[in-house]
Amino acid sequence: MQTYSYYPGCSLHGTAKEYDHSLKLVAHRLGIQLHELPGWNCCGATAAHSTDEILGLALPARNLVLAAERKRPVLAPCAMCFNRMKVTQHELQEPATRQAVQERLEGVDLEATGVRQVQVLSLLETFASDDMRATASKWVVKPLKGLKVVCYYGCLLVRPPEILQPDDLENPRSMDRLVEVMGAEVLDWPFKTECCGASLAIARADIVVALGRRLLNMARTVGADAIVTACPMCHSNLDTRQAQIKARYGEEFNMPIFYVTELMGLAFGYSPKQLKIHTHVTNATRILERLDAQHASVG
């Protein structure tokens, strides 16, 4: 049994509750124990590091201190939170920066606590390893046969590459391999790591709508039924903006956006209601009914 400190971040306790819920169901099935970090705080994404560099490092540094105390790897399923933790560990190598962050944390000795040695893992690093995929394959009872998807990694799981060390900067495959184990057909597409606009959703919704249209259009062009992601911001921008895209451009996509843990949950036999897929803005009923019909005909 694998045990991790769990850092949900703000999104998984708020706008991405279904991600948190599906992740925990899948983790339980795989024998993964998650212990939520007590007293965790917001990582500062995305406003803090753009307005106050040291505060933007101090916020994730405090969470890393909590994780170091528990001497376990920390799972950060939100791509933004994962990115901020990894970047902070990198920036703390600089003595002057480390000293400035320590002052914000009221003198906590960051070297003594070992925050740079904490193993910080993304959801894909945790769930898409060779061993975990092999374990997951044993729990697939309703393969997602006939479902064609594209995997969307976005920016924050791969950049900056020298810090995050993705399996491939332009063509990552970890999520693809995991989804293939669930029985879905993963289509190749050129926008795996393109930007969705991220937090510009607040200040420049027009840019997010334009970028979302571009992504959805390419996914449809290659023949995808749905887009799969592991980032709450990517999910939100693509799931909730499709009505605005229609209003602005006259194009209707009605393309479901799934968290990768939701597809895992479906393949493991959990119902869409158990996984809270009904809370998505873009309706996935048509695809889910098609999958149910396929399993009924096989049965």
Query: Is the overall model pTM greater than 0.95, yes or no?
Result: yes
Quickly list H helices, 109-199: 110-113, 123-127, 130-137, 161-164, 174-181
> Does residue 162 have a pLDDT over 90?
yes
In this prediction, residue 198 carries a pLDDT of: 85
Residue-range domain boundaries for the chain: 2-121, 142-298
Average pLDDT over residues 227-239: 97
In this prediction, residue 196 carries a pLDDT of: 96
Domain 142-298, CATH? 3.40.50.11810
Quickly list H helices, 31-158: 48-51, 53-70, 79-91, 95-104, 110-113, 123-127, 130-137
Q: Domain 2-121 has what CATH class?
A: mainly alpha
- Residue-wise pLDDT for 119-144, tens only, equals 999 999 999 999 999 999 999 999 99
Mean pLDDT of the chain: 95
253/293: higher pLDDT: 253
- Residue-wise pLDDT for 50-100, tens only, equals 789 999 999 999 999 999 999 999 999 999 999 999 999 999 999 999 999
In this prediction, residue 63 carries a pLDDT of: 98
